[in-house]
C-alpha cells in the first residue's frame, strides 16, 4: 500500500495505553501537523499536558475534531457510540474517522449511524497492548512489528483506506484487511477467550478456601503467574469486549469447555496417550509462533536467566 501517511491535524479521543502510545509515536514521526488529545476526564487531560505529548488537550470532543483530517477513537468499545454521536456534527467533509477497538462488528453498528456523509469511516484494530493502562503507560514502539487489522466497509474510498494503512505502517504495524465478522471470530479465538480464561483461573485460584491467597501467590512461578499478566488488563475495556463480541466469544467458549471436559475425562480414566498427543500438538503451535516472530524464544519469556 502506497498512501501518503501525513495528516494536517490528527485528533485522538481517549488517552489511555493506545491513545498515548499513538501520540508519543507522532512526536517522533513526521505524520501529523497538529496532534490533539481529547478525553472526557479532566484528570487525564491534565496528565497529558504534564507529559507534553500533544499540541492541544481538551475535554471538548466537538472542538477537538473540528478541522481534523484523521480522528481515532481510542476508548473502550462500549463508549464508541457516544463518541461518534458527540463528534459527528463537528467532522469536516473528507475526514477519516477510525478507532482502535478490539471488536469490530459492534463498533460499526454503534458509530456508522452517527457519522455524516462525506466522512470516511475505516474501523481498525491494532493487535498490540500490555496489561497496563492509562496515559502514563503508553510508549511509541508499542505497534512495532504488530498487526493492525482494518475492516473498511465495502465500497469505501480506496485512497482513504490506503492512507490510513500507510499511517499505521509508519507507526511500525503490519496491515491486514478483513470483514468485521471475520475479525470478531479470529480475535475471539486469539485474544478474547484467552483473556476470559485467564481472568477465570485467577478468580478460581483466589477463591480457593483451603489454600491461603499467600500460597497461591508464593508458588505462582509454577505456571499460574503467566495467566495473571493478561488477567491484569483494563477491567472496563475487557468488560466491554465480552459484552460486544458475545456471539463469537460464546461460540469459542463452548468449544473450549467441550474440549476441557474431554480432557478431564482422560485424566479421570487414566488415558495418558490422549494427553500426550495433545501436549505434543500444542508444543508444535508454540514453535510456529516463534518461527513467525510473534513471540520470543527465550525460555520463560526471558525471566529465568539473570
CA distances from 41 to 15, 22, 34 (A): 9, 18, 21
Applying CB under 8 A, the span of 80-88, 104-112, 125-133, 158-166 interacting with its own copies comes to 125-133
Measured between its terminal Cα atoms, the distance across the chain in Å is 43
Among 131, 136, 157, 158, binds its own copies (CB under 8 A): 131
Q: Which residues contact 27 (CB under 8 A, 6 or more apart)?
A: 35, 53, 140
Q: How far is the CB of 212 from its own copies (least distance, A)?
A: 9
Q: Which residues contact 211 (CB under 8 A, 6 or more apart)?
A: none
What order do you get walking across the sheet with 96-99 strand by strand?
56-58, 32-38, 7-13, 70-73, 96-99, 120-121
Give yes or no for residue 229 binding its own copies (CB under 8 A): yes
Give yes or no for residue 170 binding its own copies (CB under 8 A): no
Give yes or no for residue 202 binding its own copies (CB under 8 A): yes
* Positions 91 through 120 that interact with its own copies (CB under 8 A): 102
Longest dimension (CA), the chain: 67
| 50 versus 131: smaller Cβ distance to its own copies | 131
Question: Which residue shows C-alpha cell 500444542?
Answer: 282
Q: How many residues bind its own copies (CB under 8 A)?
A: 110
* Positions 140 through 169 that interact with its own copies (CB under 8 A): 141-142, 144, 146-147, 149
Applying CB under 8 A, the span of 8-16, 91-99, 108-116, 233-241 interacting with its own copies comes to 233-241
Applying CB under 8 A, the span of 42-50, 79-87, 155-163, 196-204 interacting with its own copies comes to 196-204
d(C-alpha 268, C-alpha 5), whole Å: 58
Applying CB under 8 A, the span of 2-10, 22-30, 67-75, 207-215 interacting with its own copies comes to 207-215
Instruction: Please name the helix (run of DSSP H) or strand (run of DSSP E) that holds residue 163, with its range, or none.
Output: helix 158-170
Q: How far is the CB of 90 from its own copies (least distance, A)?
A: 29
Sequence length of the chain is: 306
Among 137, 153, 162, 169, binds its own copies (CB under 8 A): 137
| 88 versus 138: smaller Cβ distance to its own copies | 138
* Strand 7-13 relative to strand 174-177, pairing: unpaired
CA angle 112, 118, 124 (to 5 degrees): 45
Q: Which residues of 212-241 are buried (b: 16+ CB within 10 A; e: fewer)?
A: eeeebeeeeeeeeeebbebbebbeebbebb
| Phi and psi, residue 250, nearest 5° | -65, -35
* Positions 242 through 281 that interact with its own copies (CB under 8 A): 242-243, 246, 249-250, 252-253, 255-257, 259-261, 263-264, 267-268, 270, 272, 275-276, 278-281
d(C-alpha 45, C-alpha 15), whole Å: 8
| 88 versus 126: smaller Cβ distance to its own copies | 126
| 39 versus 240: smaller Cβ distance to its own copies | 240
Give yes or no for residue 294 binding its own copies (CB under 8 A): yes
Among 66, 139, 156, 175, binds its own copies (CB under 8 A): 139
To the nearest 5 percent, what fractions of the chain are helix, strand and coil?
A: 55, 10, 35
Give yes or no for residue 224 binding its own copies (CB under 8 A): yes
Applying CB under 8 A, the span of 27-35, 63-71, 93-101, 231-239 interacting with its own copies comes to 231-239
| 32 versus 185: smaller Cβ distance to its own copies | 185
Amino acid at each position: 500500500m502506497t498512501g501518503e501517511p501525513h495528516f494536517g491535524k490528527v485528533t485522538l479521543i481517549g488517552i489511555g495505553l493506545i491513545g498515548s502510545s499513538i501520540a508519543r509515536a507522532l512526536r517522533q514521526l513526521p505524520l501529523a501537523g497538529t496532534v490533539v488529545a481529547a478525553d472526557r476526564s479532566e484528570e487525564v487531560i491534565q496528565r497529558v499536558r504534564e507529559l507534553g505529548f500533544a499540541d492541544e488537550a481538551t475535554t471538548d470532543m466537538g472542538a477537538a475534531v473540528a478541522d481534523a483530517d484523521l480522528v481515532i477513537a481510542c476508548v473502550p468499545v462500549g463508549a464508541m457510540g457516544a463518541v461518534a454521536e458527540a463528534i459527528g456534527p463537528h467532522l469536516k467533509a473528507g475526514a477519516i474517522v477510525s478507532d482502535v477497538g478490539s471488536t469490530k462488528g459492534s463498533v460499526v453498528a454503534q458509530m456508522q449511524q452517527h457519522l455524516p456523509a462525506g466522512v470516511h469511516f475505516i474501523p481498525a484494530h491494532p493487535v498490540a497492548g500490555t496489561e497496563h493502562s492509562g496515559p502514563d503507560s503508553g510508549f511509541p514502539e508499542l505497534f512495532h512489528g504488530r498487526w493492525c487489522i482494518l475492516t473498511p466497509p465495502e465500497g469505501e474510498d480506496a485512497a482513504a483506506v490506503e492512507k490510513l494503512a500507510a499511517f499505521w505502517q509508519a507507526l511500525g504495524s503490519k496491515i491486514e484487511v478483513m470483514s468485521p465478522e471475520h475479525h470478531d471470530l479470529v480475535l475471539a479465538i486469539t485474544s478474547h477467550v484467552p483473556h476470559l480464561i485467564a481472568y477465570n483461573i485467577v478468580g478460581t485460584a483466589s477463591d480457593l478456601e483451603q489454600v491461603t491467597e499467600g500460597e497461591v501467590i508464593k508458588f505462582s512461578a509454577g505456571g499460574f503467574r503467566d495467566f495473571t499478566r493478561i488477567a491484569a488488563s483494563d477491567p472496563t475495556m475487557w468488560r466491554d469486549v465480552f459484552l460486544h463480541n458475545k456471539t463469537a466469544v460464546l461460540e469459542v467458549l463452548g468449544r473450549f469447555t467441550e474440549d476441557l471436559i474431554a480432557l478431564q475425562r482422560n485424566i479421570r480414566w487414566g488415558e495418558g496417550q490422549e494427553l500426550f498427543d495433545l501436549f505434543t500438538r500444542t508444543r508444535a503451535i508454540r514453535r510456529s509462533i516463534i518461527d513467525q516472530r510473534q513471540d520470543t524464544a527465550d525460555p520463560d519469556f526471558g525471566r529465568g536467566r539473570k
